[in-house]
């Protein structure tokens, strides 16, 4: 029997979904509010205004020195042509000076370009550092309902992939944008200074280039979208197949799986080939247009040289400029497309940062009195959606040291009750008190310090067994950790491991058994020494022998503490002081095991159904 919400609470407070698999690849996204999101993203760059100004200056100077170089080369060509055609000797000193000037220009240009990229790398990494810090702080302030409505993979995608997209765009494309703009303007100015007429003839080819590129890109977009969709399908198919490869083999479905893969792979091939073929046409067409421009420049330049209107060196310089004129235009067009995707990523991050946070803790906190672990629910009303209440006027009392078992069918509200007790969700009406103090009058930190949890799905982190147990109490002493392990019946199996307490648990803790994991979580809860315990059927995933061992550990843990046990195996809660039978958010029966069996009601039916055999 599980307690997963299907209608109102997509996932449980206590995650049972297992690790997230590979997510479907998303088609290229466009920003919803490009200008507003760009303005907000630029706001993160305000503290670095002076450095950005230095970056812009470096880009300007680096481009300037690069642009001057063809003109200097032109003077060398003109000098050689005039001297040779006039029958005079070439001035070697003049040539050497110009070549040294060229070397200096290229060296300065490289230095400024390096400085530009160096500074932008620092800015982008600092911005990403600040952004990730802000996201991390935000995640700790969000209510549980946010995590219920988002997959783990989706949250990780925003924190990792989307932030990385922003970082790479700022680091690479910001500098590239500055260089492209200054290069375009600089080349245009130099071309006009050499010959306005030839410049006009060259510029005429630009609209043709833009028109062709835009139309081809628009035509290919549907194939890229189909390619992204097929890629997502093939990733999902592979993830599902290999995650459940044992089941596939057990049912002999390998031929079907292979057939499905080949079908999807064929679709991916078709869409990928078409998208790449169509976009591959762009470069040959651009090259054709550039060659037309080159012919125009060569013909007009030759005419002007013959007429004496232009020195031959200027024609050479103009040809160099015209050959590089379309490059910054193409770069800017590419950057605009990348920027669309980047702003879409920024919007996803901003959506996360704009999520409604948990209500703030009260500024004046009630003084904690006698901390025993008494719990009361008084006329509590709650619904995951306001228009649909799943708990109404619920009353419940648990005294210090009592064990309260909560049973009922799926969706009855068992886990919801615990969620409300720990303020993972805020109640819509009524009052919950712990030791006579309303949970709303305590800070969440103080409230949750009172609780210890042992869940059906164990959570252990990548580290030593010692560290995992010590997680229950800050600065725990060695004897406390070992004592907690002994009480949890875990000390013996730990000492049989080659490294004992220093055994490192791998990422999925697969180097110890499920029952051993559970014993470690019990030891961690014992070390925390809470006033109130929440036990979510910690023995449902283990064998009978291990269950007995775990039950011993839990019995030690429950001694003298108020305990709430969410029960699926009814045999484990026969000795509970009070059993609450819940259905549709209401407590429909209440009493100990014997009393409820005598009533022959809902509980008796549940119990008998489990032991009908």
| Residue 404: CATH number of its domain | 3.40.50.300
Is 60 exceeded by the pLDDT of residue 9?
no
Residue 40 domain-assigned (yes or no): yes
Q: Are 326 and 208 in contact (CB under 8 A)?
A: no
Is 60 exceeded by the pLDDT of residue 328?
yes
Between the CA of residue 513 and those of 14, 494, 518, 520, 527, what are the distances in Å? 20, 12, 9, 11, 21
Q: Are 179 and 62 in contact (CB under 8 A)?
A: yes
Please identify which residue in the block is written with the tokens 């299907």.
6
Angle in degrees, 0-180, between the axes of helices 478-487 and 514-528, rounded to the nearest 10: 130
Give buried/exposed letters for 148-182 (b at 16+ CB in 10 A, else e).
Answer: bebeeeebebbbeebbebbbebbbbbbbbbbbbbb
Higher pLDDT, residue 188 or 290: 188
Domain ranges, residue 235? 34-353
Rounded-to-integer distance, Cα 267 and Cα 234, Å: 10
Residues 598 and 463 in one domain: yes
Residue 433 domain-assigned (yes or no): no
- Phi first, then psi: give them for residue 540, nearest 5 degrees: -75, -20
Residues 406 and 344 in one domain: no
Between β-strands 504-505 and 437-438, what pairing exists: parallel, antiparallel or unpaired? unpaired
Residue 530 domain-assigned (yes or no): yes
pLDDT of residue 25: 36
Model confidence pLDDT, tens digit, residues 386-397: 777 778 888 888
Strand spans (E) along 136-178: none
Q: Are 420 and 427 in contact (CB under 8 A)?
A: yes
pLDDT of residue 26: 41
Weakest-pLDDT range from 13-22, 130-139, 152-161: 13-22
Strands in 437-438's sheet, in edge-to-edge order, are 391-398, 375-382, 429-434, 437-438
Is 90 exceeded by the pLDDT of residue 466?
yes
Which whole number is the average pLDDT over 582-587?
A: 79
Range 90-94 contact pairs with CB under 8 angstroms and sequence separation of 24 or more: none
Rounded-to-integer distance, Cα 528 and Cα 484, Å: 9
pLDDT of residue 13: 36
pLDDT band of residue 365 (cuts 50, 70, 90) is low
Helix, strand, coil shares of the chain, percent, nearest 5, are 65, 10, 25
Is 70 exceeded by the pLDDT of residue 293?
yes
Tell me what the pLDDT averaged over the chain comes to.
80
pLDDT of residue 542: 61
Which of 326, 353, 380 lies at the terminal end of a domain, its last residue?
353
Between the CA of residue 347 and those of 110, 354, 574, what are the distances in Å? 35, 10, 53
Model confidence pLDDT, tens digit, residues 93-109: 888 998 999 899 889 98
pLDDT band of residue 508 (cuts 50, 70, 90) is low
Residues 100 and 174 in one domain: yes
Model confidence pLDDT, tens digit, residues 159-196: 888 888 888 888 777 778 888 888 888 888 888 988 89
CB atoms within 10 A of CB 590: 15
Which of 324, 353, 382 lies at the terminal end of a domain, its last residue?
353
Number of structural domains, the chain?
A: 2
Rounded-to-integer distance, Cα 368 and Cα 349, Å: 39
As a three-state string, the secondary structure of 59-98 is HHHHHHHHHHHHHHHHHHHHHHHHHHHCCCCCCHHHHHHH
What is the maximal distance between C-alpha atoms in the chain? 125
Residues 134 and 209 in one domain: yes
Which of 353, 372, 392 lies at the terminal end of a domain, its last residue?
353
With 0-12 / 13-18 / 19 or more C-beta atoms within 10 angstroms meaning exposed / middle / buried, residue 202 is: buried
Residue 378 domain-assigned (yes or no): no
Residues 346 and 448 in one domain: no
Model confidence pLDDT, tens digit, residues 23-41: 333 444 566 777 888 888 8
Q: Of 332, 336, 339, nearest to 178 (Cα)?
A: 332
Model confidence pLDDT, tens digit, residues 82-93: 888 877 888 888
Model confidence pLDDT, tens digit, residues 220-250: 777 777 877 787 788 878 877 877 777 788 7
């Amino acid at each position: 029997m599980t307690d997963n919400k299907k209608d109102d609470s997509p996932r449980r407070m206590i995650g049972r979904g297992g690790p997230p698999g590979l997510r479907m690849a998303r088609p290229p996204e466009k920003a919803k509010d490009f200008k507003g999101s760009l303005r907000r993203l630029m706001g993160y760059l305000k503290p670095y205004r002076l450095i950005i100004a230095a970056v812009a200056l470096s880009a300007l100077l680096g481009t300037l020195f690069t642009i001057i170089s063809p003109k200097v080369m032109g003077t060398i060509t003109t000098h050689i042509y005039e001297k040779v055609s006039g029958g005079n000797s070439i001035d070697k000193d003049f040539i050497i000076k110009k070549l040294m000037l060229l070397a200096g220009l290229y060296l300065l240009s490289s230095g400024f370009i390096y400085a530009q990229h160096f500074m932008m790398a620092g800015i982008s990494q600092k911005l990403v550092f600040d952004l990730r810090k802000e996201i991390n702080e935000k995640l700790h302030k969000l209510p549980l309902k946010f995590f219920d409505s988002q997959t783990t993979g989706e949250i990780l995608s925003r924190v990792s992939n989307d932030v990385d997209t922003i970082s790479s765009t700022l680091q690479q494309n910001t500098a590239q944008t500055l260089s492209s703009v200054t290069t375009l303007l600089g080349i245009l100015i130099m071309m006009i200074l050499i010959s306005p007429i030839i410049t006009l003839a060259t510029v005429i080819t630009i609209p043709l280039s833009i028109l062709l590129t835009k139309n081809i890109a628009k035509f290919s977009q549907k194939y890229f979208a189909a390619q992204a969709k097929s890629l997502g399908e093939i990733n999902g198919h592979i993830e599902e197949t290999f995650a459940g490869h044992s089941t596939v083999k057990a049912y002999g479905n390998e031929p079907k799986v292979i057939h499905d893969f080949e079908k999807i792979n064929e679709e991916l091939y078709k869409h990928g080939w078409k998208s790449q073929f169509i976009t591959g046409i762009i470069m040959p067409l651009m090259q054709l247009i550039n060659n037309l421009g080159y012919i125009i420049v060569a013909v007009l330049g030759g005419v002007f040289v013959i007429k004496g209107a232009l020195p031959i060196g200027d024609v050479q310089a103009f040809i160099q400029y015209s050959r590089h004129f379309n490059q910054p235009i193409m770069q800017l067009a590419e950057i605009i497309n990348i920027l669309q995707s980047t702003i879409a990523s920024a919007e996803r991050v901003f959506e996360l940062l704009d999520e409604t946070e948990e209500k703030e803790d009260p500024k004046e906190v009630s003084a904690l009195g006698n901390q025993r672990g008494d719990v009361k629910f008084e006329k509590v009303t709650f619904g995951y959606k306001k228009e649909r209440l799943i708990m109404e006027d619920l009353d419940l009392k648990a005294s210090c040291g009592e064990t309260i078992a909560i049973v009922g069918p799926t969706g009855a509200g068992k886990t919801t009750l615990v969620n409300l007790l720990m303020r993972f969700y805020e109640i819509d009406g009524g009052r919950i008190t712990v030791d006579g103090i309303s949970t709303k009058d305590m800070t969440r930190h103080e409230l949750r310090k009172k609780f210890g949890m042992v869940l059906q799905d164990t959570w252990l982190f990548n580290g030593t067994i010692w560290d995992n147990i010590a997680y229950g109490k800050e600065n725990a002493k060695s004897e406390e950790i070992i004592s907690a392990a002994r009480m949890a019946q875990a000390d013996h199996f730990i000492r049989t491991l080659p490294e004992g307490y220093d055994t490192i648990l791998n990422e999925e803790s697969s180097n110890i058994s499920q029952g051993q994991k559970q014993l470690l979580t019990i030891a961690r809860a014992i070390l925390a020494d809470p006033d109130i315990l929440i036990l979510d059927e910690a023995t449902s995933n283990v064998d009978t022998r291990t269950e007995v061992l775990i039950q011993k550990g839990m019995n030690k843990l429950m001694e003298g503490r108020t305990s709430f046990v969410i029960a699926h195996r009814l045999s484990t809660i026969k000795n509970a002081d009070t059993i609450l039978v819940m259905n549709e958010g209401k407590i429909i029966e209440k009493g100990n095991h014997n009393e409820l069996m005598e009533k022959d009601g809902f509980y008796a039916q549940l119990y008998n159904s489990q032991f009908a055999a």
